[in-house]
Amino acid sequence: MKREMFMKYTRTTVAAASAAITILALTGCDAVSTGSPSGDASGDCERSSTKEIYFDYPLTSLSVYGDLQRFAEAAADERGYEVKYTADDNDLQKQNTNVQALVTQQVPAIVSYPLEPTSMESLAAEARDNCTVFVSYAAPIENQDASILFSGLESGKALGQAALDWAAEQDEPVKVLILQDRDLAVGAERDDGLNEVFPGDAANIEIVATQKASDREAGEQVTREVLQANPDLNMVLSYNDDSGLGARQAFINAGVDPKDPSVFIGGQDGSKEGLEAVAEGGIYRTSVAVRIKDIGEAVANVPIDILEGVENDGVDVPPIALTIDSDELAEYLSDYS
């Protein structure tokens, strides 16, 4: 199935009669009329004409971050823009301080992945009052011009269903460790989705532990400890690929064959390393993937469209559970070549 079939990308040219944005060329800046997606109540705020997009992504340690940057920068470059970044270090206070600085500077556009969506509302409202385009990433907020979404709920459901399908084929009991991160909005959504379908009424599944693990190191450490207490552990369901790959390493360190048919590890994101692990055909059996290329390009194209007066409500990139048998696996991996 082509990726276009997965992707809801609302992008229509604004009709002249209904154009909400009127851009007047000024020396060094543009003025935005009342009723624009981003504009103060008086309609008199001025927007910098600098062709810059600021990407506020706090989880820079995740393996997908580098590829998001690469795709975003390529898309921005094609349209004559530059992508710049904040350095939040997964710290809510630091993120809010950094975004506040951008709002004060009245930068043209901000794409922000809010660690706590409610804390970003007032900053986003202030940004829009300053004629700064504000695009929310991962979690929609009230004060936004558009959003870049990838359903965490559906991702969790897809992982749960893939795990159930595998468990149904097992003759032995399935002992499960769930790695989650409910401190993040998307992490909580993924966990909610997983819990909606898993374990269901499956009689051979026992969840022996549920713990927080948001990166590879934590995933390996938690899994190692749970394996020591439960040597018959044979399934790990992780909220992202990073911690899932850490779990995989813990099994290997414990002497488990990387292709042991009795072990199932699944993660989410569709990172390069996650998909490569799936392609190996071993114990890392599933990555519920969102198309990183589509998301990265949207980081540039959504705010640029709005800046240039093209209506764009954002994108909603659907997740898909990829296994070694999935026709789409090679296509998703090709994004990273």
The predicted structure's pLDDT at residue 18? 32
Residue pair 59/113 in contact (Cβ under 8 Å)? The answer is: yes
Rounded Cα distance between 237 and 241, Å, is 10
Q: 89: which 2 tokens?
A: 């270090």
- In the chain, the percentage of residues whose pLDDT exceeds 90 is 80
d(CA 227, CA 243): 15
**Tokens 């040597």 label which residue?**
231
DSSP code, position 15: P
Q: Tell me the pLDDT band of 43, cut-offs 50, 70 and 90.
A: low
Residue-wise pLDDT for 9-30, tens only, equals 333 323 322 333 323 333 333 4
The model's pTM is 0.77
Q: What is the pLDDT of residue 56?
A: 97
How is residue 302 written in tokens? 């959504």
What 3-state DSSP class applies to 50? coil
Q: Give the ranges where 58-171 is alpha helix by DSSP (H).
A: 64-78, 92-105, 117-129, 152-167
Confidence of residue 47 (pLDDT cuts 50, 70, 90): confident
Summary mean pLDDT of the chain? 88
73 Cβ contact partners less than 8 Å away, ≥ 6 residues apart: 82, 83, 300
Query: 201-211 burial, b if ≥16 CB within 10 A, otherwise e?
Result: eeeebeeebeb
Residue 33's pLDDT is: 34
In the chain, the percentage of residues whose pLDDT exceeds 70 is 87
